[in-house]
């Protein structure tokens, strides 16, 4: 048998891209590819890209440039661009970077095997359709290999919300939910392959409305059904929109033990004026009331969020309102970004906030969020948490896992095993992780 061809995939952007990269590797697995960690060894390089901010998109071109010597050394090397930059820019990518052989959007990567074959014949292939068929049903399956203990599972994709700053509705398309039975089948398969924790993914995962027995199911019902899978110990979901937080999902945080006490709920700004300009369709007040209801259901819920500073028209007072919201909510973790004007979005037409002002705001917001994150971590010291060990650490006998609250926890103990969920007492808090001992 010929040596298998080697595939190098580099993933940018959100967790959904991580999931998609796994699926693309499986799809090309059926065409005889095995993955490699080294771009120099590859017969095919795929960049799975993100278009969310200008920097993310530009990174793709600098990365592509670096592959030039590899292609000179190996004329059979094929280079592909997948993901959201592929969707947004399509053929333009090939004009800007002639060494690209293949461009495939997030909704057509089930066609990769055919595209790969065409590219091997010397063609250049572009496919950025939004096809009728469900890509997940048309993906060739790879080998049923053992999986790492924590896995992603996409249940919903796309977005109809059209926040004024955001490219996702254009790059991922309209909101689509996968049917309940398909999700269950995939979850059961993951569990059989060693998975103990599943994170349900969607651009607006809590807008999930999949067809299932008896009609349309919401996310809470799906989670309650998944929780019945024996061997599946933990369920998470991301990313949610405040307007889609249905009552039963709030309740599930209180009464479904397998649903972990961590919630990523982006708010973007604490100023109603800016929220309105962003077309978020909620207020700071309604967000805070929602958090209160969630905390009433699950008092120890650890909250995470996303923030944008320097949105067009943001004044000092608007920014102070964001700081005030952050102080009121108290986040265990958060992501904050300087507004980046994205071509084709309504906000890109507006006059930007001066860059130095935006940078200064970002700096102040991040200082506050880091302080809150440290406080939440430090508060774990002395507590007992459950930890799922996901990989070996750098030290001998060390395991690294995630607590119920999604904190990274290091434990050095020969009894700690991969895939095990153990009770751990937290003994120390570092900048980005905790240290603990088996109880």
Q: Is 61 or 130 the residue whose CB approaches ligand SF4 more closely?
A: 130
- The number of residues that bind ligand F3S (CB under 6 A) is 14
Using the rule CB under 6 A, which residue among 52, 191, 222, 265 binds ligand F3S? 52
* Residues contributing to the site for ligand SF4 (CB under 6 A): 159, 161-163, 166, 168-169, 203-204, 241
- Contact of 236 with 199, CB cutoff 8 Å: yes
- Distance (Å) of CA 44 to CA 33, 67, 135: 9, 11, 21
Which range, of 119-127, 166-174, 230-238, 288-296, touches ligand F3S by CB under 6 A?
166-174
Asked if 322 is part of the footprint of ligand SAH (rule: CB under 6 A), the reply reads: no
Task: Give Cα separations from 382 to 378, 389, 433 (angstroms).
Answer: 9, 19, 15
* CA dihedral (33, 37, 41, 46) positive or negative: positive
| Binding site partner of 298, from ligand SF4, ligand F3S, ligand SAH, none, Cβ cut-off 5-8 A by kind | none
Please tell me whether residue 380 binds ligand SAH under the rule CB under 6 A. no
In the complex, the smallest distance separating the C-beta of residue 167 from ligand SAH, rounded to whole angstroms, is 7
Closest by CA to 250, choosing from 223, 228, 272, is: 223
Ramachandran region, residue 330 (left: φ > 0; alpha: ψ -120 to 50; beta: rest): left
CB 264, min distance to ligand SF4, A:
11
Binding partner of residue 169 among ligand SAH, ligand F3S, ligand SF4, none, CB cut-off 5 to 8 Å per kind: ligand SF4
Segment 71-130, which members bind ligand F3S (CB under 6 A)?
83-84
Q: How far is the CB of 333 from ligand SF4 (least distance, A)?
A: 18
Helix (H) or strand (E) holding 410: strand 408-412
> CB-wise, 168 or 326, nearer to ligand SF4?
168
Are 124 and 97 a contacting pair, CB within 8 Å?
no
Bridge partner residues of 217 (DSSP): 210
Contact (Cβ atoms closer than 8 angstroms) between residue 387 and residue 419: no
Return the number of other C-beta atoms located less than 10 Å from residue 248's C-beta. 15
What are the Cα distances from residue 337, in Å, to 113, 202, 204, 311? 37, 20, 19, 10
| Structure letter (DSSP) for residue 347 | G
Residue 279: CB atoms within 10 A of its CB come to 14
Residue among 5, 7, 9, 16 that touches ligand F3S (CB under 6 A): 16
Q: Which among 235, 77, 60, 249 is positioned nearest to 152, based on CA atoms?
A: 235
Nearer to ligand SAH, 326 or 426 (CB): 326
Q: Which does 171 bind (CB under 5 to 8 A by kind): ligand SAH, ligand SF4, ligand F3S, none?
A: ligand F3S
CA within 13 Å, CB half, 179:
12
Which of 5, 53, 172, 224 contacts ligand SAH by CB under 6 A? 53
CB of residue 162 to ligand SF4, shortest distance in Å: 6
Cβ-based neighbours of 75, under 8 Å, separated by 6 or more? none
Count of residues interacting with ligand SAH (CB under 6 A) = 17
Q: Which residues bind ligand SAH (CB under 6 A)?
A: 52-53, 165-166, 168, 203-204, 239, 241, 266, 268, 306, 308, 337, 339-340, 342
Residue ranges that bind ligand F3S, judged by CB under 6 A:
13-14, 16-17, 50-52, 83-84, 167-168, 171-172, 203
């Amino acid at each position: 048998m010929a040596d298998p061809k080697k595939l190098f995939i580099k993933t940018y952007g959100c967790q959904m891209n991580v999931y998609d990269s796994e699926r693309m590797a499986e799809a090309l697995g059926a065409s005889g590819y095995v993955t490699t960690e080294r771009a120099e060894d590859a017969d095919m390089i795929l960049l799975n890209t993100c278009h969310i901010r200008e920097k993310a998109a530009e990174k793709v071109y600098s990365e592509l440039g670096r592959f030039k010597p590899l292609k000179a050394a190996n004329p059979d090397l094929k280079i592909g661009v997948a993901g959201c930059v592929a969707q947004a820019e399509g053929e333009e990518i090939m004009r800007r970077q002639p060494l690209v052989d293949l461009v495939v959007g997030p909704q057509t990567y089930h066609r990769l095997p055919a595209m790969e074959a065409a590219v091997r014949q010397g063609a250049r292939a572009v496919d950025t359709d939004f096809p009728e068929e469900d890509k997940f049903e048309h993906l060739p399956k790879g080998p049923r290999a053992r999986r790492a203990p924590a896995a992603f599972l996409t249940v919903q994709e796309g977005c109809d919300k059209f926040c004024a700053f955001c490219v996702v509705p254009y790059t991922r398309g309209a909101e689509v939910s996968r049917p309940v039975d398909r999700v269950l089948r995939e979850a059961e398969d993951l569990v059989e392959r060693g998975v103990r924790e599943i994170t349900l993914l969607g651009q607006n995962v809590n807008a999930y409305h999949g067809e299932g027995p008896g009609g349309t199911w919401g996310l809470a019902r799906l989670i309650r059904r998944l929780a019945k899978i024996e061997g599946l110990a933990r369920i998470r979901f991301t990313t949610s929109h405040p307007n889609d937080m249905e009552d039963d999902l709030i309740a599930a945080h209180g009464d479904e033990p397998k649903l972990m006490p961590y919630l990523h709920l982006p708010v973007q700004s604490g100023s109603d004026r800016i929220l309105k300009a962003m077309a978020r369709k909620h207020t700071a007040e309604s967000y805070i009331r929602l958090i209160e209801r969630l905390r009433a259901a699950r008092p120890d819920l650890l909250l995470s969020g996303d923030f944008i500073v320097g949105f067009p028209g943001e004044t000092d007072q608007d920014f102070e309102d964001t700081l005030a919201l952050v102080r009121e909510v108290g986040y265990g973790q958060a992501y904050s970004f300087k507004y980046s004007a994205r071509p084709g979005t309504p906000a890109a037409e507006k006059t930007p906030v001066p860059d130095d002002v935006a940078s200064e705001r970002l700096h102040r917001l991040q200082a506050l969020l880091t302080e809150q994150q440290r406080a939440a971590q430090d508060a774990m010291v002395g507590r007992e948490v459950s930890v799922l060990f996901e990989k070996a650490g750098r030290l001998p006998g060390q395991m690294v896992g995630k607590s119920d609250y999604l904190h990274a926890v290091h434990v050095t103990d020969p009894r700690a095993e991969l895939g095990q969920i153990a009770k751990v007492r937290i003994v120390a808090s570092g900048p980005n992780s905790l240290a603990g001992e088996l109880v």
